[in-house]
Structure 1
Amino acid sequence: MAKWFLTILTGLGLLLSAGCSSFVHQQDSEWLYAPMARPLQPTIQQEVKILRLSQLLQQKELTDEIRAKVFHERGNNYDMLGLKNLARLDFEQSLRFYPSQPEVFNMLGVYYTEINDFDAAYESFDSALELAPESVYAGRNLAIALYYGGRARLARDEIEQVIAKNSADPFSALWRYMIVSEMDAETARKELMQSYHARQPEQDNAWGWSLVAMMLGETDDSTVFKQLLQKTSDNTVLARRLTEAYFYLGKRYEMQAQYAEAVALYKLAISMNVYEYIEHRYAFLELERIYHTIKDDHSS
């Protein structure tokens, strides 16, 4: 499996230029090219929707609540196109007109995490959880922000609360594994293995548990990609799932100090243009962490 990383960049260029989502095998066991989807691009529908929402905001007779919803909707559309600063400004405007929106606080917390403004991120997630205490997304995102902010023990406490609310969520299990690994790699693996074996055969979570199996080495990486490509015909779904797969596979290699492979995988996760997924957002943070790790190793 490791050999296909040596040809990732060549394969990536060829596949992007061809605009295909196919893959090629070498001797039926090694990847010659990295599996790809066509990178997501803005659609005319998205652009028209932003235009119409902008026109709607020009109407003076809108109530504050309606105006807040329009800003929120336009912010979501900006976010899906990767226009993060415009999205953030719209979300802030939305809260100004109607503050009781936990999902907007959650989104702002994610933005602040991306730019390493962790105090602002914690405050935003706390606001989201105050308004919606049972929110799994806000709780998990707070744990992730604490993790990237170097507060592993607090992150662990937070992610444990999230898992207590929904133990069937494979992504929370993955993030607990990554968080706890900072303190105790053996315990982290044991907990993830327990979650994996306790999983329920739910169709909605099948893909997430495949990622857990890949992280644990319980299934061959190429098997996960083959099954994904065989079962997924929609390019948008394929791009989203490849973004997740490359991010978590990159994290596995990073945790093994195989930084060249991890960097290549994070770049593949970014290349799909799935801007709204945290795996796309935080791939940049992981690249930054690797840069500082290597820099510190060379300077010591």
Structure 2
Amino acid sequence: MCRNVSLIFFSLFVAILTGCAQTPSIAERPQMGNLLLAEPAPINPRSEMAIARYNQVLMSPALSDTDKAELHFQRGMLYDSVGLSGLAQFDYTQAINLKPDLAEAYNSIGIHYIQQNDFIQAYEAFDSTLEINPDYDFAFLNRGIALYYGGRSELATSDLDTFFSKDETDPFRALWAYFAHHDMSDEMGMTYLATVRPSLDNEHWATSIVDLFLGTVDENTVLNSLLDGVRSQKGLTDRLCEAYFYLGKYHSQMGNRGIASNYFKLALSTNVYDYVEHRYARLELNRLREQAKDVSSDDE
């Protein structure tokens, strides 16, 4: 077992984190026992030093607008990696103002719009990315995610299927496409996932997450596989960020809002700011809270 990782019984901690409104039932609690906790990723001092260097270079009057745009974009990526999202978004805006055909900057700022539930601007940003560079693969992922969270699942399936088609061995790509298909109907989601499952890489740890959604493995099997192939604390923290998010999605679909909420909180606790799973864990938490309000309103 890797150093600095504790295998703990988690039920009491779940109850404390969730609070009275979302306390899981007794039937739910055992599913979160024996859970690995991540050591939150520290801020990389090299990133901090790089940001300081960019600050100095950007003060030079000799820079062209193109150079300034690229520097703002690169500094924005660094700000994102250390969790300074407001400063990152400012830099992406500056980059676009200085170089309106910088596809990467539109893609990055679009992700921020998704996190802010500003889906119209997100669609426009990803449309701009693909107009400038039709081969920018991750714009299909990000626009698909924007459409999924924006309640346009039919359009989302088109983008996410396109993204999956570019690497049909990748379980993460399959999962995002599945979420959009499932949002249209349970049957469509399961049919889609069963169809793509044979092409996935069986050696990739996240394929077990796909099997969990298909019902061919249980949650303990997934949890027991999380250490396989991990060779560093950073590698473990990164993997747990991913695993927590998708386990949260699984329990959300199962109607276990208390457990799902805590998995999303655990994904956030890893501090792996630039992972897609960390970016959208808070959005998922907000969705769960809205669902809880709707249930409370119906009960009144």
TM-score above 0.5? yes
Distance 2:171 2:102 in 1: 26
Partner of 2:151, secondary structure, is: coil
| Residue matched to 2:242 | 244
Q: Which amino acid aligns with 1:285?
A: L
Deviations 1:82-127 (A, max 9, x none): 0000000011111222222222211111100000001100000001
Alignment match, 2:216: 218
Aligned-pair identity in percent equals 37
- The aligned amino acid for 1:278 is V
Q: Counterpart of 2:77?
A: 76
> In the alignment, does 2:54 pair up with 1:53?
yes
Tell me what 1:284 maps to: 282
Q: Which residue of 2 aligns with 1:17?
A: none
Q: Secondary structure at the match of 2:63?
A: coil
Between stretches 151-160 and 138-147, larger displacement belongs to 151-160
Contact 1:249 1:265 in 2 (8 A): yes
Q: Shift in Å at residue 231 of structure 1? A: 2.3
1:16 matched to which residue of 2?
A: none
The equivalent position to 2:271 in structure 1, one of 248, 270, 273, is 273
CA shift at 1:153, angstroms? 1.5
Q: TM-score, with normalisation over the residues of structure 2? A: 0.86
> 1:34: how far off?
2.1
Q: Following the alignment from structure 2 to structure 1, what is the Cα–Cα distance between the partners of residues 255 and 270?
A: 25
Q: Which residue of 1 aligns with 2:91?
A: 90
Output the amino acid matched with 1:130: E
* Unaligned stretches of 5+ residues in structure 1: 13-28
- Letter of the aligned partner of 2:282 in structure 1? F
Matched with 2:258 is 260
Where in structure 2 are the equivalents of 1:193-204 lying within 5 Å?
193-200=194-201
The 3 A distance-change label for structure 1 pair 30 and 155 is closer
TM-score (norm 1): 0.86
1:139–1:159 Cα contact (<8 Å) kept: yes
| Residue in structure 2 matched with residue 121 of structure 1 by the alignment | 122
Alignment partner, residue 4 of structure 2: none
8 Å CA contact retained: 1:114, 1:282: yes
Contact 2:170 2:201 in 1 (8 A): no
Instruction: Name the CA distance, whole Å, in 2 between partners of 1:157 and 1:199.
Output: 19
Residue 231 in structure 1 maps to residue 229 in structure 2: yes
Q: 2: CA distance between counterparts of 1:31 and 1:109?
A: 34
> Does the CA-based 8 Å contact 1:4-1:33 persist in structure 2?
yes
AA partner of residue 131 (structure 2): E
Q: Is 2:11 the counterpart of 1:6?
A: yes
Q: Is the 8 A contact 1:11 1:33 kept in 2?
A: no
Distance 2:31 2:120 in 1: 45
Bigger mean CA deviation after superposition, 231-240 or 79-88: 231-240
The reply on whether 1:162 has 2:160 as its aligned counterpart is no
8 Å CA contact 2:83–2:273 kept in 1: the answer is yes
Unpaired segments of 5 or more residues in structure 2?
Answer: 1-7, 18-29
Contact 2:106/2:125 (8 A) holds in 1: yes
Correspondence for 2:133: 132
Using a 3 Å threshold, how does the CA distance of structure 1 residues 8 and 192 change in structure 2: closer, same or farther? farther
Q: Could you give the per-residue CA deviations for residues 26-72 of structure 1, whole angstroms, max 9, x where no partner exists?
A: xxx98644212210121322211111110010111012222112111
State the shift of 1:240 in Å. 1.3
Equivalent residues of 2:201, 2:207 under 8 A apart: no
Looking at both structures, which has the greater relative contact order when contacts are Cα pairs under 8 Å and sequence separation is at least 6? 2
Q: Are the counterparts in 1 of residues 205 and 225 from structure 2 also a CA contact under 8 Å?
A: no
Aligned equivalents of 2:151 and 2:16: distance in 1? 36
**Aligned letter for 1:38?**
E
- Conserved in 2, the CA contact under 8 Å of 1:95 and 1:101? yes
Between Structure 1 and Structure 2, how many residues are aligned?
279
Secondary structure of 1:228's match?
coil
Q: CA deviation at 1:253?
A: 0.6
2:267 counterpart letter in structure 1:
A
Question: Which whole-Å CA distance do the structure 1 matches of 2:274 and 2:285 have between them?
Answer: 18
